Structure 1
Amino acid sequence: MQPDTDLPVGLNPRETAAFLLNKIRQGNDYARRKKQWFRRGASVTKMLALGLSAASTVILGLQSLSSRADLALPFVALVTLLGAVEPFFNWRSRWVLMEEAQYRFQRLADDLEYLVASTAADDLTFDQLGEIFDRYQNIWDDLCRTWLEHRREPAPSPHAY
């Protein structure tokens, strides 16, 4: 079995800091992409439900109810379906979770950049970088733990609102 040649070996503290900063930025990019995806899912679901609710209300309010009711009923059914789907996917909570992760990754990148910029090349230590790496790992741990907690929670009852 051959060793992974993409994995850097024997880096000095400055090179390790650059490697770690790249990992932090990759985490931030991941959180940004997921946040955008979840925000889109939450927004589309909410706008569809709102639009279909408004359309069915207007259609049912028109004078010639008998011919329009056939159109309004599927709209109401779709609103009910969207109301059931949204808590299952929980896009809004996932969006907020990724927003928090993105903030934490950005803050960590800022702290690492400041540490490197404010420390003489010979004074930067692996212990200092280890603290940054521990915080990086904690962000991922918190993200995964919270994600699993959200997935384990039962969906709220539609009658709870």
Structure 2
Amino acid sequence: MLIRVEIPIDAPGIDALLRRAFPGEGEARLVHDLREDGLLTLGVVATDDEGQVVGYAAFSPVSVEGEDLQWVGLAPVAVDEAWRGQGLARQLIYDGLDSLNEFGYAAVVTLGDPALYGRLGFEPAARYDLHCRWPGTETAFQVHRLADDALEGVHGLVEYADHFNRL
């Protein structure tokens, strides 16, 4: 198994994985459209020994109260069914966080299971008076600081690219 930054030749494998991992084609279309519009900050893939994509994590820009603060959103994360339960999602996310930290990004937000993401260093965003536009997501919306001062004086609405509103 190899975990690395996605390259253009990975796109069909990522698309196939997302179509297998999620009902419908929303996530596959989301990643395709983000990539096409230059809004995919980072994609991390896991490939098996034959080079097939078996895991993926995408990061795209978000704004806070309309400002670009060098924050990104994590979504989607997918692992092929045969590879689940082996910590692959955690590895993909950690590798992504490490890369983003090296690139100078300040924070990462995500919507997901608080227990899972809490183990990865994410905290409830509401603790910092941060929220997203989707109702009923208060407990699932979380933030992970990459820069020590990323959350100082920052609060309000965190907005993902409009592509996410089409899901």
Q: Same fold (TM over 0.5)?
A: no
Which entry has the higher C-alpha Rg, 1 or 2?
A: 1
Question: Per residue, is there more strand in 1 or in 2?
Answer: 2
TM-score band by shorter chain is under 0.3
Q: TM-score, normalised by structure 1?
A: 0.25
Q: What's the TM-score, normalizing by structure 2?
A: 0.25
Point out which structure has higher relative CO (alpha carbons under 8 A, 6+ apart).
1
